[in-house]
Chain A
Amino acid sequence: MRANGQERAADTGASIAGRGIKKVFGTGPSAHHALGPIDLDVKPGEFVSLIGPSGCGKSTTMLLVAGLEKTTEGKIEIDGVPLSAPLSEVGIVFQDHLLLEFRTAIRNVMLQQEIRRLDRQELRERADALFEKLGLTGAENRYPWQLSGGMRQRVSIARALVHQPSMLLMDEPFGALDAITRTQIRHDLEMLWLETRKTVLFITHSIEEAVGLSDRVLVMSDGPGKIVDEIHIDLPRPRPAHLGDYPDFAQYAQRVYTTFEKLGIYKFK
């Protein structure tokens, strides 16, 4: 739907403005109040992380912002236009790569072109450029089962970016990767983001990832999901692999731990 004010220059991010967002799944006695009400404001080009325990409504928030779930109450505006249908100018990455096993890496990315009926050659050039930046050159014609976990997730990121969306939604994108791969891919994502400045909503369980990547971290609690703390991360970019080098990093991380402890998410003796 082009009605969502998505006609825009390709190199700017979208803004998100959510007021009193609430989500209840089901009705009657089996109803589950999953989220809210919360307010969510993200500036164009901002990198915002949502961090919180499992089941705190992080993923629900993401789906609501993408227009893939309807809010029970409240409203969400993308670039000032109320959300009424699935957001089109968006790229989504989940914890699982969700690549199609019957398509090669490059054709998985080009699915965006085929379904959206975009210009084939232009998209192919962009896909090639993304493959180069993501260290995927040479893997174009391999099937997902021929790629490592990290490479699959890189292809998945390329698929989410090739159509130049104004917003990137990532639901624990590195959750299934090993620690070494995770550090590298985190850095690569940051470099890519610095170049394009899409708005990013990044969901994670990892305090290091949240602090390492974000401009702002929103800490959530569960039952129902609420935003309980907001931390502006004021660290220079690009941020190094070893975040411990920044004395500030420890303070930011400590603040998240303390919040979790206060909420009873962590019980240390």
Chain B
Amino acid sequence: MTTAATAVSDTPGRPFKGEWIWSLVFPVLSVIVFLGTWEILIRVLEVPAWLVPKPSDFLSRLSTDFTTIAGHAWVTSKTIAFGFAIGVLIAVPLALAIVSVRSLERGLFPVIIFLNIMPKTVVGPIFVVWFGIGPLASVIIVFLMCFFPVLVDSMSGFRAVDPRLYHITRSMGASQLQTFRYIRIPASMRYIFAGMKIGIVKAIEGVIIAEFIASSAGLGFMIMRASSFMDTTLMFSGLIATASVALVFNGLMVAAERLLMPWARQ
């Protein structure tokens, strides 16, 4: 690793050589300064750990309680993955159907608008009644959270093709299927990804709230339980773990986008 990094930075003729190092150093440095100040303030002012824990406390907790925290993080990740996957798998074909069939659009769109503006977490307690405490209720809430942004953006994606392009494809004698395969599906990718990027953020937001109210596992549940024990340190560790899970999912989205849409790199 070290040799590779050195090799890159030593490449001759690279303009602004080493600039990328600074883009790494500055964020790291600012985090260290921030946590350091926090640590010193708590120690000097002797703030009790149950009120505000020291960074050294909740960071070391991440390693001492690693098995517990990682187990909950795994549950949370699975819930996000399932809910998100179901959301995308239903939203994209449904968007295509709505855009293609006029009566579907007229009939469904008001319902979709209503469901879209309704805060999804409101239905959490109802789902607890229907599905009990467990992963199912959480998955459904995650599904609802990410479903609508993906649906709405996919719909704009399937509508985004300049109709005059269809003049050209019709003169080519393109079948409906070919138009989808060669034009509409790939053209909508950019929009679907935009929807999925919003969707994944919503999904992560949704999963924690779902686990607060309707789960017996997962980071949201762990944080809620720590709260009832006044274990503030573990709550902060959970916060770091949640942010890490969010980072991983966002990273996966970026990677998938680069892989599936090489043309969009600008």
- The interface of chain A, by Cβ under 8 A from chain B, is 1, 63, 66, 68, 86-88, 90-92, 94, 96, 98, 100-104, 111-112, 114-116, 143, 145, 159
> What is the minimal beta-carbon distance from A118 to any residue of chain B, in angstroms?
10
Q: How far is it, in angstroms, between the C-alpha of A100 and the C-alpha of B161 when the chains are bound?
A: 9
- B30 on the interface (CB 8 Å rule)? no
B172 touches A115 (CB 8 A): yes
Query: Within 8 Å CB of B174, what residues of A?
Result: 115
Are A92 and B189 within 8 A (Cβ)?
A: no
Q: Does B46 contact A (CB under 8 A)?
A: no
A100 pairs with B183, CB closer than 8 A: yes
Tell me the complex Cα distance, A194–B262, Å. 39
Query: Which residues of B come within 8 Å of A, CB atoms?
Result: 162, 164-165, 167-174, 178, 182-183, 186-187, 189-190, 261, 263-264, 266
A145 touches B266 (CB 8 A): yes
- Minimal Cβ-Cβ distance residue in A for B265: A143
- The answer to whether B186 and A94 have CB atoms under 8 Å apart is no
How many Å from the CB of A166 to the closest CB on chain B?
12
Q: What residue in chain A is nearest B167 (Cβ atoms)?
A: A68
Contact between B170 and A68, CB atoms less than 8 A apart: yes
Are B182 and A111 neighbours in the complex by a CB distance under 8 Å?
A: yes
Contact B167 A115 (CB under 8 A): no
Q: Which of A86, A102, A159 counts the most chain B CB atoms within 10 A?
A: A102
List chain B residues, Cβ under 8 A from A115: 169, 172-174, 178, 182
Judging by beta carbons under 8 Å apart, are A102 and B187 in contact?
yes
Given contacts A101-B263, A102-B261, contact A96 B162 (CB under 8 A): yes
> Across the interface, which residues of B come within 8 angstroms of A102, CB to CB?
186-187, 189, 261, 263-264
Q: Provided the pairs A115-B178, A115-B182, A143-B263 are in contact, do residues A98 and B173 lie with their beta carbons within 8 angstroms?
A: no
Q: A102-B187, A115-B182 are in contact. Are A88 and B261 (CB under 8 A)?
A: no
Q: 7 shortest A-B CB distances, which residue pairs?
A: A115-B172, A86-B170, A102-B186, A102-B263, A115-B174, A143-B263, A98-B165
